[in-house]
Structure formats: C-alpha cells, structure tokens
Amino acid sequence: MTGATPAATTWGAMACVALAVWLAVRRDAGGVARARGAEAVRGTSGADGGDLVLPARVARSAALLRTRAAGLLIRRREWICAPVAVALAVLGESWLPLVAGAAAVPLVGRWLRRRAGRAAYERSDAAVAALCGAVVGELRAGCEPGQALIRAVRETPGLGVAESPVLAAARFGGDVPAALNRAAGAPGLASLAGIAACWRVSVDGGAGLAAGLDRLEGALRAERRRREELRAGLAGAWSTVVLLALLPLAGLGMGAALGAEPLRVLLHTPAGLVCLVGGLLLETAGLCWADRIVRAVDAR
C-alpha cells in the first residue's frame, strides 16, 4: 500500500489542475459582468472613505486582471493544453508531455475554430429563415416591400455582413436582389439567394412576394428540422466514440491506484514509449475516422 499513496497523490493533483482549468473556461459573460459591477461598487466605496482608496484600487486592479485572464482563456482555449502539459511533465519527470502539449495547441485551436465556424454557420442559416418570416409579417401588415425588408433586417440578429449592404440597397432604392445575391456568398447565408429570386420575380412578374417568402421559409425550416433530427441520431454514436477514446485514461487511473506507476512506465521505458506512441496514433486515427464519417453523413 505504500506505493499506491504517491500514485494516488499524483493523479489527484492532475485532477485538480484539470478541474481548475475547466472552471476557468466555463466563466460566462454573467460572471464577467458581476465582476465589473463589484469593482464599480468597490471604487465608489473607496472614493467615499479616504483610507479605503488604495485597497479599492488594488481590488479593482485584481478584478480587471481576473476579467482579462478569463476573457483570454475563453478566446484562446487551446492554450489550456500548455498548463496541462507542464503539470504532466512535472508529475512524470519527462519533457515528452511538453512536446505533446506544444503540438496539441495548434491542433486544438484548429478544431475549436472549425467548431465556432460551424456554430456561426448555423446561426446565420437560422437568421435567414427568421428574416423570411419577418418580411412576410411586415408585408401582411401593409408595409411596402422595401420598408418591410428594412424593418425585418433590423429586427433579425445574426445576418452579419449581409445587414449593411441589404439595408443600403433597400433604403436608397438600389438593386435589392443583387445585394442579396452578393451577401449570399457568406457562410450560412446561401439562402439569401432564394429571397433575391422571390424579390426579382415579384418585381418583374408581379407575383406575390409574401407568398413566395412564406414557402421559402417553410422549406428552410423543414430542412433545418431534418438536419437537427440527423444530428440527434448521430449524437449517440459520437458519444460512444468519445467514451471509448477516454477508456485508456481510465486504465491509467486504475494503474496508478494499484501502484503500477503508469507515467514512469510510459515515459521512461522503451516498451512504454512504443505503447504510448502507438496508442496515441491509434486514438488519433480512430477519432479522425469517426469525425469524417459523421461529417460525411451531415453533409449529405
């Protein structure tokens, strides 16, 4: 039992580091706002009491530093790999975790950027459907098409780069379909080309713009529901993949609890290094393969 105590301490320290990093990243905007409100209150109380000015300034500086650090962690979450790698290097008494952490930072950053781009794409796609519904509502309320589009664009968040050119074309009598077609080139805004087609048909052929946009909105929402159902069906398979990928970590924890010193074996013995490199390659290949299958199904 004497050999199990250092191993348990090692893994406990690793768990504490991981928990601290996770809690730092999970800070939301509400927490930042509360910190700013608290520092404003401290500043006021320090100004009223002369002997509390210096402590209030120190508290404000500390709160500002914490806020900026939290914002940096939220924006650059891939750098969380660095402290984790340092902790593993210290606990395992090896420089290999530092190399792995340096290699993981750009890979994790690329994955996070791709995930953020996919979320932005979904928000923009949903904004186009909401724009169709808003324009239809304004038209049926008696507004002219240009005025209806202006009001709908102002009331619909998530349009991004499409907002300014479309508003300018609608407000100053420009070519609205051309502005919509140009904006449709942005990620997630391809459906604006459908609005442009409905607009051009209604102007040139006299067809009802509200009816066309109503049908377009229904088609966009149906397509979005189909995508959500597909992703809900794939969520179980992806959860199984992630669970299987985390099983080696559970094995390392069990080995440490039994006093086998898995970090020393993996980082300081030839057989352990071969197993470590082979396991990492197989883990990476399995995750990439599963991700490629999921993305291929999602794209179809």
Write the pLDDT tens digit of every residue in 29-80.
444 444 444 444 444 444 444 444 455 556 666 666 666 555 555 557 778 8
Any residues with CB less than 8 A from the CB of 47 and at least 6 apart, and which?
53, 56
Where residue 109 falls (left for φ over 0; alpha for ψ -120 to 50; beta otherwise) is: alpha
The pLDDT of residue 205: 52
Q: Are 263 and 273 in contact (CB under 8 A)?
A: no
Please report, for the chain, the start and end positions of each structural domain, with discontinuous segments joined by +.
Answer: 121-226
The pLDDT of residue 204: 60
Give the whole-angstrom CA distance, residue 62 versus residue 36.
Answer: 11
The pLDDT of residue 75: 57
Q: Is the pLDDT of residue 28 over 80?
A: no
Q: Are 35 and 29 in contact (CB under 8 A)?
A: no
Q: Report the mean per-residue pLDDT for the chain.
A: 75
| Helical spans, DSSP H, in the chain | 4-25, 29-48, 53-75, 81-92, 96-140, 145-155, 163-171, 176-183, 192-205, 209-257, 262-268, 270-299
The pLDDT of residue 167: 87
Give the whole-angstrom CA distance, residue 146 versus residue 278.
Answer: 62
What tens digit of pLDDT does each residue of 172-222 get? 888 888 888 888 888 888 888 888 888 888 876 545 888 888 899 899 899
DSSP assigned state of 276: H
